[in-house]
Amino acid sequence: MGTLLILLVLTLFLAAILTGGYNKEFLLRARQTKVWDWLTTVDHKKIGIMYFLSGFFFLLIGGLEAIFMRLQLAVPNNDLFTGDIFNQLLTMHGTTMIFLAAMPMIFGLINVIMPLQIGARDVAFPFLNSLGFWLFFWGGILLNLSWFFGGAPNAGWTSYTSLALNSYSPGLGVDYYVLGLQITGIGSLMSGINFIATIINMRTPGMTFLRMPMFTWTSFVTSALLVFAMPPLTVALLLLMFDRVFGAAIFDHAMGGSSVIWQHLFWIFGHPEVYIVILPAFGIMSEIISTFSKKRLFGYTSMVFATVLIGFLGFMVWVHHMFTVGLGPMSNSIFAVATMAIAVPTGIKVFNWLFTMWGGEIHFKTPMLWAVGFVPTFVIGGMTGVMLSVPPADYQYQDSYFVVAHFHYVLVGGTAFALFAGAYYWWPKMFGKMLSEKLGKWHFWLFFIGFHMTFFPQHFLGLFGMPRRVFTYQANHGLELLNLISSIGVIGMTLGTIFFMVAVVQAARSKELAPADPWDGRTLEWSIPSPVPEYNFAQLPLVRGADAFWLEKQAGNKEMTPAEPLGSIHMPSGSYIPMLMSLGLFVAGYGFVVKSWIIGAIGIAFTFIMMYIRSFEQDFGYHIEPEEINGSAKAKEVKA
Amino acid sequence: MASHIHPTDRPTKPGHLEKATLEGKNKVMGFWLFLGAETVLFACLFGTYLALRNSTMGGPTTQELYDLKLVGLATFFLLTSSLTSVLAMNAMNRLNVRAMQFWLGVTVLLGLAFLILEIYEFVHYVHEGHTFTSSAFGSSFYALVGTHGAHVTFGICWIIGLMIQTARRGLTYEMAPKLFLSSLYWHFIDVVWVFIFTLVYLLGKVG
């Protein structure tokens, strides 16, 4: 049934494209609409916004799944969501939050802000950027379609074998996991490559590496992690697909395979992954703390060094997720020491933030509230992390709620706080409107209190012996009260998020435009109008030091000194190919999930045809002439 | 910052044409990063194969299976194609389009010869009872060597596509980086094969 539906839609789509729509005029009108503009855009700001908003959409879905789980766990012996449904909820919650919420929202901010911070007009590969977004989007849709067609994945977000093999996880759930993540993963790899090439090749004159803002630095290191950490996931998912769909025996003990290989491959990806989502958070917090303390970031070079060191060590510690597998005392010890070593650069960062605030002129705007809330929250998460890094102790903590509390303190207290902080901080730059300070403060306090209420008790639940990923517990074991408190805390986080959405709607409806530099900012993105014109900088700015815009303001200048005369600006043309290329993979992925080789082959062939079309097409973009830039800020594009 | 060369211009002076434009520089940088990612990808497949290569589950072992003569011939074809690919890039940077097309053609033919030998090898193995689903050894072998073969296939299609484009458009500033990247990719495939020859075939015979 589902197969037929998909085939029908695809045929219609193809027919529409090949015949030029229902008629030529319709196509012409469609091309002039805003929807078409957004679907085909290669503008890094628009792609960033799409990343951020679709990431937020998935965050709401993942949050809903979390609410269901806490409802189930609020009282002992509850039977609201039991057994397999609960397993599906916890699997999809983790998978959605990491791959479809945290990463895309981070990519969104990097996409919008990083090119502005280095004074670039776009990323190095605008087409690839769009392709990365659409791969993420279709992969996410494929993963979530599992709820309606065949059941959601239920083997945990880590999808360990042998549990994830056909014999223990029959049905289509894990297949959706494998193929959905494979498609989004390719997109993430592309983004990583794109960001690195952008930062190395596209910096404006004077923007040396050690003058780059912290957010750009952390984006740089995160991108390097993406490039080297995504391939192990690709291989792991590929091999799992071979085992599940094509009858291979890589992970199957009965056929000589080894399930530990999955764990290695998954965590060689999985540990750098947590730094992929936390390093940009560090960058956002560094920007905000420095801006709202009216001080240069304390220990900038040590901050850069710490970031690079964390990125490097992040690849050396994956076995700490596998202490109880039984790899032996020697490898456990080495990986334990490497894990503890990461606390050093992280500690450097925490002290630098504190010293930046020390003696600063602190303004408690909403972004700064999040940043100040982040520091102690993240320190608690880091401290439990060091506790978990001790192998003998880990034998006690493993697979208990203590671990759940730990990683929610770093991922929510770190990444989610930073994403909200970044949203309030950069909203004027992204959308040209300010988010309400009043609602923002409500959001922060409700979310902050709700968060601690939910997750602080979970440390103790874990120490009292409550295992993670289990759908209920017995009464009279001392677990009822803490579980109830934990579930009540969810109300705070939910209300907080609702306040955020209200603030967003309010800002979208408001006619009041944001000023170019609402926070008295320090970096280049604040030196250009809000919202940013499509060419970003009419003239590329000349950078004379770290905190480039702040330096100019201190010297009495209102804007940056240009590094080039006013001239015609080259812009890339939009393209519908990235969306269709990803759609092809989506169809192929669906085909493999339902084991229909015809659909799979059609999808892959479609993607390859699109790649050939792309390779053979010649489109060199268009130019924006100086008159249009001077004429009005709303200089509209002209086709070349 | 950006050079004022139009992508459809034809270069008049020899040199490193692939980096003459900002687009070209970006592409070369991005592609090296991609090859870094590919290295990790193959490293993971190698690790999996090395862990599972003795799990033959009663099927033929590596010693019984591999025939170094056949593989040696395939290696000869592929490594020679790396040389012809260098000659093609050399011709490109000397602006000699005909020589470049000729050497690219030779590269494709050598790649095809390699691919035919590999397919023959796989068919032979299947007859011997060494299949994708017969054991963990079989699965990991075909996962590794098959992924490499898929890369060779993609490379052949890619180079043919670029040859057609060059024939239509001539050697322009747009084409030069594209051709250069395909050659980088081709070298990478060869380097991976060197490791496959050593770690799969040689080690399988003597290790």
**pLDDT tens digits, one per residue of A521-574:** 999 999 999 889 999 999 999 999 999 999 999 999 988 999 999 888 999 999
pLDDT at A637: 41
pLDDT at A22: 57
Please report which confidence band the pLDDT of residue B10 belongs to, taking 50, 70 and 90 as the band edges: confident
**pLDDT tens digits, one per residue of A272-327:** 999 999 999 999 999 999 999 999 999 999 999 999 999 999 999 999 999 999 99
A564 vs B contacts (CB less than 8 Å): 1
Domain regions of chain A by residue span = 33-575+619-631
Please report which confidence band the pLDDT of residue B1 belongs to, taking 50, 70 and 90 as the band edges: very low
Q: Which residues, listed in sequence order, are joined to residue A569 by a DSSP beta bridge?
A: A624
Out of A228, A249, A540, whose CB is closest to B1?
A: A540
d(CA B129, CA B131): 6
Q: A624: part of which helix (H) or strand (E)?
A: strand A622-624
Residue A564 is classified by DSSP as: S
Q: Is residue B148 part of a domain?
A: yes
Percent of chain A predicted with pLDDT > 70 = 96
Buried b (16+ CB within 10 A) or exposed e, A600-635: bebbbebbeebbeebeeeeeeeebbeeebbeeeeeb
Buried b (16+ CB within 10 A) or exposed e, A171-206: ebbbbbbbbbbbbbbbbbbbbbbbbbbbbbbbbbeb
Tokens representing A265 are: 């491959």
d(CA A249, CA B74): 28
Contact (CB<8Å) A124/B36: no
Q: How many CA atoms within 13 Å lie on the side-chain side of B1?
A: 24
Please report which confidence band the pLDDT of residue A377 belongs to, taking 50, 70 and 90 as the band edges: very high
Question: Is the separation of the CB atoms in A523 and A470 below 8 Å?
Answer: no
pLDDT at A634: 42
Please report which confidence band the pLDDT of residue A251 belongs to, taking 50, 70 and 90 as the band edges: very high
Q: Is residue B53 part of a domain?
A: no
Contact (CB<8Å) A615/B165: yes
Question: Is the separation of the CB atoms in A312 and A223 below 8 Å?
Answer: no
Phi, psi at residue A314, to the nearest 5°? Answer: -55, -25
Contact (CB<8Å) A194/B139: no
B178 vs A contacts (CB less than 8 Å): 615
Tokens representing A191 are: 């983004």
**pLDDT tens digits, one per residue of A597-615:** 999 999 999 999 999 999 9
**pLDDT tens digits, one per residue of A150-180:** 899 999 999 999 899 999 999 999 999 999 9
B45 vs A contacts (CB less than 8 Å): 235
Residue A635 pLDDT exceeds 50: no
Average pLDDT estimate for A133-140? 97
- Residue B26 belongs to what domain range? 17-48+67-206
Residue of B nearest to A263 (CA): B48
Q: What is the model's pTM?
A: 0.93
Average predicted confidence (pLDDT) for chain A:
93
Contact (CB<8Å) B139/A618: no
Out of B56, B57, B140, whose CB is closest to A250?
A: B140
Q: Which residues, listed in sequence order, are joined to residue A467 by a DSSP beta bridge?
A: A400
Contact (CB<8Å) A231/B40: yes
Q: Is residue B57 part of a domain?
A: no
Residue of A nearest to B49 (CA): A250
d(CA A61, CA B65): 52
Task: Say yes or no: ipTM exceeds 0.85.
Answer: yes
List residues of chain B with CB under 8 Å from any CB of chain A: 1-2, 6-8, 22, 25-26, 29-30, 33-34, 36-38, 40-41, 44-45, 47-48, 51-52, 55-57, 132-140, 142-143, 161-162, 165, 169, 174, 178
Contact (CB<8Å) B30/A264: no
Question: Is the separation of the CB atoms in A189 and B37 below 8 Å?
Answer: yes
Mutate which of B3, B55, B192 to test chain A, going by most A C-beta atoms within 10 A?
B55
d(CA A618, CA A621): 9
CA A498 to chain centre: 21
Average pLDDT estimate for A384-388? 96
Burial of B183 (C-beta count, 10 Å sphere; 0-12/13-18/19+): buried
**pLDDT tens digits, one per residue of A481-521:** 999 999 999 999 999 999 999 999 999 999 999 999 999 99
pLDDT at A10: 79
Question: Is the separation of the CB atoms in A172 and A207 below 8 Å?
Answer: no
Please report which confidence band the pLDDT of residue B13 belongs to, taking 50, 70 and 90 as the band edges: confident
Q: Is residue B85 part of a domain?
A: yes
pLDDT at A619: 84
Helices (H), A314-365: 329-357
Q: Is residue B178 part of a domain?
A: yes
Average pLDDT estimate for A467-479? 94
Question: Is the separation of the CB atoms in B91 and B100 below 8 Å?
Answer: yes
CATH classification of the domain holding B107: 1.20.120.80
Lowest mean pLDDT among A170-174, A219-223, A619-623, B131-135: A619-623
A194 vs B contacts (CB less than 8 Å): 30
Question: Is the separation of the CB atoms in A133 and A450 below 8 Å?
Answer: no
Please report which confidence band the pLDDT of residue A24 belongs to, taking 50, 70 and 90 as the band edges: low
The candidate with the shortest Cα–Cα distance to A261, out of A246, A274, A242, A275, is A242
When divided into structural domains, chain B yields a total of 1
d(CA A457, CA A482): 6
B40 vs A contacts (CB less than 8 Å): 228, 231-232
Question: Is the separation of the CB atoms in A121 and A624 below 8 Å?
Answer: no
Cα angle value A22/A24/A25 (rounded, 5°): 100
A201 vs B contacts (CB less than 8 Å): 22, 25-26, 29
**pLDDT tens digits, one per residue of B29-77:** 999 999 999 999 999 999 999 999 999 999 999 999 999 999 999 999 9
Please report which confidence band the pLDDT of residue A636 belongs to, taking 50, 70 and 90 as the band edges: very low
Domain A33-575+619-631 has CATH 1.20.210.10: yes
To the nearest whole Å, the CA of A226 is away from the closest chain B CA by: 9
pLDDT at A4: 73
CA distances (Å), A591 to each of A175, A246, A548, A577, in order? 11, 13, 52, 21
A124 vs B contacts (CB less than 8 Å): 26, 29-30
Average pLDDT estimate for B10-36? 90
B2 vs A contacts (CB less than 8 Å): 570
pLDDT at B16: 84
Q: What HEC string does chain B produce?
A: CCCCCCCCCCCCCCCCHHHCCHHHHHHHHHHHHHHHHHHHHHHHHHHHHHHHCCCCCCCCCHHHHCCHHHHHHHHHHHHHHHHHHHHHHHHHHCCCHHHHHHHHHHHHHHHHHHHHHHHHHHHHHHHHCCCCCCCHHHHHHHHHHHHHHHHHHHHHHHHHHHHHHHHHHCCCCCHHHHHHHHHHHHHHHHHHHHHHHHHHHHHHHHC
- Give yes or no for a cis peptide into A531 (omega within 30° of 0): yes
